[in-house]
């Protein structure tokens, strides 16, 4: 949990646009259930500035 909070804070800081306009990061979340009944989740955060894109997946 601490890792996720630190990661979210880091993404917010890097996407704040210190040298320009603020850039809003994109968050994608997914939940899947397999045939055995196992539930898994996935989350990714993407920050994009021009041609550069940084994506972190959890």
Write down the domain spans for the chain. 2-57
Higher pLDDT, residue 30 or 58: 30
Residues 6-39: pLDDT tens digits?
777 777 776 665 666 767 888 999 999 999 999 9
User: In this predicted structure, what is the pLDDT of residue 20?
Assistant: 66
Question: pTM, whole model, 2 decimals?
Answer: 0.51
User: 28 pairs with which residues across the strands?
Assistant: 44
Confirm if 32 and 43 have CB atoms less than 8 A apart: no
User: In this predicted structure, what is the pLDDT of residue 17?
Assistant: 56
Instruction: Take residue 23 and report the two structure tokens written for it.
Output: 């850039």
User: In this predicted structure, what is the pLDDT of residue 16?
Assistant: 62
Dmax (CA) for the chain in angstroms is: 49
């Amino acid at each position: 949990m601490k890792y996720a909070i630190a990661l979210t804070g880091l993404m917010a800081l890097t996407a704040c646009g210190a040298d320009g306009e603020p850039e809003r990061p994109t968050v994608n979340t997914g939940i899947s259930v397999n045939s055995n009944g196992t539930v898994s989740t996935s989350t990714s955060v993407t920050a994009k500035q021009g041609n550069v894109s940084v994506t972190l997946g959890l």
